[in-house]
Each structure stands twice: as C-alpha cells, then as structure tokens.
Amino acid sequence: MSGAIHTVTANPALDQTVTLDALIPGSVHLARAATVNAGGKGVNVASCLADWGLPAHAHGLLGRDNCGPFEQLFAAKRITDRMLRVAGACRVNIKLADLASGDTTDVNLPGPETGEAELASLTAGLRDVGAGDLAVLAGSLPPGMPRDALARLCAQLKRQGAWVLMDSSGSPLQLGA
C-alpha cells in the first residue's frame, strides 16, 4: 500500500482571467490586466496538494498545442506529470472579472475532440494506481469522450483497491455515482 495521490483531469484548461473596471454587455472594454494559468479541477487539486507539501501524480489528457503552461506548473511544484499528450489544444476558459460588481463571468470553451482511443490510453496509464492510493477524478469531459468515462475509470480504480473521489457534474457524475 503506497498511499500515493493521483488526480485525473480529462479536460484541463488554461484559465485566462481578464480584469475589467465594469463589464457592460455589448460594449468595448479596456482590460486592467490579464493572466493565464494552467487549470482544470484535477490540475488545481494537484497544485494545492503540492502547495501543502504532498506529492501528487497528475493524469489526464493534455493538448499538445498548448501544454507548456501545464509542464511549467508541474515542474515548478514537483507534480509528477503523467498526462497523456493528445492532438490539438487544451480548452481555454475565459474569466471576466468585473471590479465594479465583484462578479466573474465564465466562458468555457470545449477542448480537443477525443474518444474511445484516448479513454483506453488514459485507462492504461492508471493501471499502476494501487491498493491504498487515492484517486481524484475531477472536472468535465472533453468533446467525444463517452459520458460514462468517469464511471468506467472509477470502477477500474476501485477494482485496483484505490480510494476514489469524484468531482464532476451532469451525466458524467450521475453515471459515476
């Protein structure tokens, strides 16, 4: 029993936060600032674990076209990079931070097209997760991924003796419960 912590993010995202004085729909805005951070629920969990001094293994599907910020995050925080590189680019989530109201408006893009082949590769990459390990399946699924993908991964990890936590929504969460 190793007790390792594994996160699984099938649809990671680059979070682009744009700060505005006030968001006025239909208007042209001059941004105060803009930042880009590697994210996605499972990536964020791995990042927090690393901040707390806990080693984490990040698994998932990472678009080859814009994987640099993720690789930099993993290297800087000593997160074990177990992400599979897939064709295309990771999705970009645009966050419009309205300073006047304090509200944030999110526009989440879909991510690269995937399917059974990518799910099979992800499944194979989790075969060494073992008894006593913790696996966190988090976030949304990319386009083309079967809706029961998280349920399948959850079942496999439980058969391998891992403790599994799931944080998703909609049909992927309902099918995995």
Q: Rounded CA gap, 151 and 132, in Å?
A: 19
Q: Residue 175: pLDDT band by 50, 70, 90 thresholds?
A: low
pLDDT in tens, 16-31: 999 999 999 999 999 9
SS3 state at 32 = coil
Once rounded to an integer, what is the mean pLDDT over residues 50-75?
96
Instruction: Count Cβ neighbours within 10 Å for each residue of 152-175 and write b for 16 or more, e otherwise.
Output: ebbebbeebebebebebeeebeeb
Contact (CB, 8 A) for 19 and 95: no
Predicted local distance difference test score (pLDDT) of residue 1: 40
The fold for domain 5-12+40-89+112-176 equals UDP-N-acetylmuramoyl-L-alanine:D-glutamate ligase (3.40.1190)
Domain ranges in the chain are 5-12+40-89+112-176
Predicted local distance difference test score (pLDDT) of residue 167: 76
Contact (CB, 8 A) for 137 and 145: no
Q: Residue 3: pLDDT band by 50, 70, 90 thresholds?
A: confident
Q: Of 72, 84, 67, nearest to 8 (Cα)?
A: 84
pLDDT in tens, 153-173: 999 999 999 999 987 656 665
Q: What is the pTM of this model?
A: 0.89
Mode of pairing for the β-strands spanning 57-63 and 5-9: parallel
